[in-house]
Amino acid sequence: MGGVHVSVVAVVAVLLSGAAIGTLRLLRGRRAGDTELLPGAWPNTRGTVLSATVQMSHTARARHESPLVFYAYQVDGRMFQGHRVRATGQCTNASEVIARYPAGASVVVYYDPTDPANSALER
């Protein structure tokens, strides 16, 4: 039984070490002068709203509403689809958000230049 416990501890230690190394690499990659990865500096393109609905989820104590907006856009001749409304943080009023993005509407889509599949309608 002691061997099983030791092997679990060893696996957890390896996983935590890997996570720490990955975090350090991510932090080193984002220096103070690196603005191209920050949503506020993302370029934009035109897109079209495919659908917009309020998504509801329930917990034992509360009901939570969030906007679910699907949109299509093109970057360098490649088509993408996204669903994030805000690049940072969450939207406060789902009904107000989807009212701003009716199906078929032309919208501005902000995208990560290093990964154009990563996008948002608002920064």
Q: In the chain, where are the structural domains located?
A: 1-30, 39-120
Report how far residue 84's alpha carbon sits from residue 81's, in angstroms, rounded to the nearest whole number. Answer: 10
pLDDT recorded at residue 80: 98
pLDDT recorded at residue 7: 56
Higher pLDDT, 88 or 113: 113
- Report pLDDT digits (tens) over 52-98: 999 999 888 888 899 999 999 999 999 999 999 998 877 778 999 99
pLDDT recorded at residue 40: 87
pLDDT recorded at residue 107: 98
pTM for the structure as a whole: 0.66
Residue 122 is given by DSSP the state: B
| pLDDT score of 39 more than 50 | yes
70 contacts 49 by C-beta, under 8 angstroms = yes
Q: Cα dist. 92→53, 54, 64, 121 in Å?
A: 15, 12, 11, 15
- Report pLDDT digits (tens) over 1-30: 555 454 555 444 444 444 444 443 444 444
The residues facing 120 across adjacent strands are 110
